[in-house]
Amino acid sequence: MIKTDPQEVEQRLKQFELACRQKGVKLTHQRIEIFREVAEATDHPDTEQIYQRLKNRLPTLSLDTVYRTLWLLKDLDLLVTLGTSRERTRFDANLKGHHHQVCTKCGAISDFYSDDLDKVKLPEPLGMLVEIEATHVEVRGICRNCLKST
Amino acid sequence: MIKTDPQEVEQRLKQFELACRQKGVKLTHQRIEIFREVAEATDHPDTEQIYQRLKNRLPTLSLDTVYRTLWLLKDLDLLVTLGTSRERTRFDANLKGHHHQVCTKCGAISDFYSDDLDKVKLPEPLGMLVEIEATHVEVRGICRNCLKST
DNA sequence: TTTAATGCAAAAGATTTGCAACATG
DNA sequence: CATGTTGCAAATCTTTTGCATTAAA
């Protein structure tokens, strides 16, 4: 399992602690560990997976705390969610503008960056939207592993 | 509620009936009505909404048939799903390559098209993916209605 | 010490399944 | 007619909630 670069994780944790203090949200042991787990992950885990990965370290942790914490962190803009249709919601602590590549076979999701994409102008009369917050591209396809195993 | 252009709906229905016959899937009254409902909708409804909209026309319809049918149609590539994180899965019968604009306040989703976007080259070493199937852009922002009501 | 957060267990919600009755090809 | 599909009810799975206990500021 590939993990986020440790320096990057530390940075994210710093930002997280700062944000919590600023907003008067208590820095509990559980919150720190849950955030760290998401920050270290590169595979965009869902609630259950995060819970499973933490159980060794925090044996008394309960699943509902993981749920509550993840959505709290999302509300604080410290995490981003990916809706993946039939699957459960998945979480990402990467706050730099980025895009996703998704394997339609195995469901793996990985981040990527593209200056070219970021530079594209949207058609002016977009329609419904007035204030644009973010543009996110999802590229779907088959990943190396899944192609091999067919 | 804005509906899909009737001609377009008819086209989609034709294609749907053809596909069902080709794949040996029976064309039941329920399946036709469920597909029509999605084909007419422009708001990307979820299972429950589709069920509610059909109840008048089909009083004995059951929710589980709607579930079963929608996922069947998706497996037959006659519908596309949108995963929208905390919400339920939503369905779209628009099979032309298109993109989505999402209001982060009210959750409204509407289709849009962009030649410019479709022309952008992805960075060559995308990473994980080998065979690319589709590229989909999601633009998030605030819609006209929600901006007014703040 | 005050207030918010956790863990537990129970509740609520959403989705799926087994099976007899029914409709389609 | 044979087979696949539906509706119902029950089962399952996921997520949320109430509340007493515990921990953070």
| pLDDT tens by residue, B66-106 | 999 999 999 999 999 998 889 999 999 999 999 999 999 99
Do A69 and A104 have their domain in common? Answer: no
Say what the pLDDT of residue A82 is.
95
For residue B120, what is the domain's CATH number? 3.30.1490
Domain final position from A44, A77, A92: A92
Q: How confident is the model at residue A55 (pLDDT cuts 50, 70, 90)?
A: very high
- The neighbour count for residue A136, using CB atoms within 10 Å, is 18
pLDDT at A150: 67
Quote the pLDDT of residue A116.
87
Q: How far is B43 from chain A (nearest CA, A)?
A: 12
Tokens found for residue A124: 């002016």
* Residue A62 belongs to some domain of the structure: yes
Find the closest chain A residue to B127 by CA distance: A112
Q: Are residues B24 and B60 in the same domain?
A: yes
| Confidence band, pLDDT 50/70/90 cuts, at residue B121 | confident
Same domain? For A103 and A140 the reply is yes
Query: What residues in A contact B131, CB-CB < 8 Å?
Result: 141-142, 147
- pLDDT of A111 reads 94
Least confident window among B37-41, B62-66, B142-146: B142-146
Contact with chain B for residue A123, Cβ under 8 A: yes
Here the CATH number for the domain that contains residue A73 is 1.10.10.10
Q: Does any domain span residue A1? A: no
Q: Do B85 and A85 touch (CB under 8 A)?
A: no
Q: What distance in Å separates the CA atoms of residue B26 and residue B12, rounded to the nearest whole number?
A: 17
Domain final position from A76, A92, A108: A92
Cα(A64)–Cα(A134) distance, integer angstroms: 30
Examine the domain organization and report whether B110 and B88 are in the same domain.
no
Q: Do A120 and B123 touch (CB under 8 A)?
A: no
Query: How far apart are alpha carbons A37 and A39 in whole angstroms?
Result: 5
Cβ distance A132 to B139 less than 8 Å, yes or no, reads yes
Mean pLDDT of A63-89: 96
Q: Are residues B82 and B103 in the same domain?
A: no
Report chain D positions within 7 A of protein CB atoms.
Answer: 4-10, 14-18, 23-25
* Inside any domain, residue A107: yes
Q: Angle A47-54/A63-75 helices, nearest 10 degrees?
A: 120
Q: Which residues of A touch B127 (CB under 8 A)?
A: 101, 110, 112
- Say how many domains are in chain B: 2
| B138 lies in the same domain as B81 | no
Same domain, A10 and A33: yes
Domain span at A47 = 6-92
Whether B38 and B73 map to the same domain: the answer is yes
Q: Of B92, B121, B137, which marks where a domain is finished? A: B92
Q: Phi first, then psi: give them for residue A73, nearest 5 degrees.
A: -65, -35
Do A105 and A121 sit in the same domain of this protein? yes
B13-39 confidence digits (pLDDT tens): 999 999 999 999 999 999 999 999 999
What is the rounded average pLDDT of the residues A114-130? 84
- How does DSSP assign A64-76, residue by residue? HHHHHHHHHHHHT
CB pair distance less than 8 Å for B143 and A130: yes
Listed residue (A76, A95, A80, A65) closest to A25, CA to CA: A76
Predicted TM-score (pTM) of this structure: 0.94
Mark whether B84 and B108 lie in a shared domain: no
Considering the domain architecture, whether residues A14 and A83 belong to the same structural domain is answered as: yes
Closest CA to A1 of A39, A30, A41, A45: A41
- Taking the C-alpha atoms of residue A38 and residue A51, their distance in angstroms, rounded to an integer, is 11
Model pLDDT, residue B120: 85
Domain assignment present for B1: no
- Strand C protein footprint, C-beta under 7 A: A 25-26, 28, 30-31, 58, 60-62, 64-65, 68-69, 86; B 20, 26-29, 46-48, 63-64, 67-68, 71, 88-89
Residue B63 lies in a domain: yes
